[in-house]
Amino acid sequence: MKLSDARKDHYRKLAKDKGYRSRSAYKLLQLNDSYHIFRQRNKVIDLGCAPGGWLQVAIKEVGSCGKVIGIDLKEVKPLEGAIILHGNIEDHGIINGVIKILNSKADVVLSDLSPNVSGIWDIDHARQISLTKSAFSVAQKILKENGNAIFKVFEGDLLNEVKDDLNSNFHKVLLTKPGASRQQSSELYIVCLKFRG
């Protein structure tokens, strides 16, 4: 077994043992350990939240006085401590609904969005970056000043354009790959701290 497969299996088993819905919960746990994204009482929006691993991490981190909302096109099994909305993040009605539920703006916006991968690299990269741009567009509407965000991206030619956009909207922007990501995958995360508003 290759080391990357062993790592993947390790996190999959760990997630199952700890009751997380997905291995990717460990990516968010590691990102939070490094960059302190969440605080108690935070209001968090998770864009593309299925199957709910990131929601589980967020619920734990913000505590019972926080608020966690997930949005996805797929049906997501109910999760205690989270409000799950079924819909498209590009639908203005959904976003207005989120602002109404929160009764304010969010402290944290998360996006682990990924396209259905075709295996044709240029197309997959372009689709993923397009999703990230949509997620950022939502974040601009619902993130409060000095709020934090995390966006998944695929490495490639279009990445710099997204980074430039984020750099002009956040005080600090960091590109990183958590240990729970497969090292040979092109998946990276952009951690954005202190939204300029």
What is the Cα–Cα distance from 4 to 181, expressed in whole angstroms?
A: 9
Tokens of 1: 């077994």
Give every CB contact of residue 59 below 8 A, 6+ residues apart in sequence.
Answer: 66, 68, 79, 80, 81, 82
Catalytic residue selected from 13, 152, 163, 194? 152
Q: Which helix (H) or strand (E) holds 122?
A: helix 121-142
Q: At which residue do the structure tokens 């939204």 appear?
A: 195
Has 27 been annotated as catalytic?
A: no
What is the Cα–Cα distance from 159 to 164, expressed in whole angstroms?
A: 9
Active-site residue set: 152
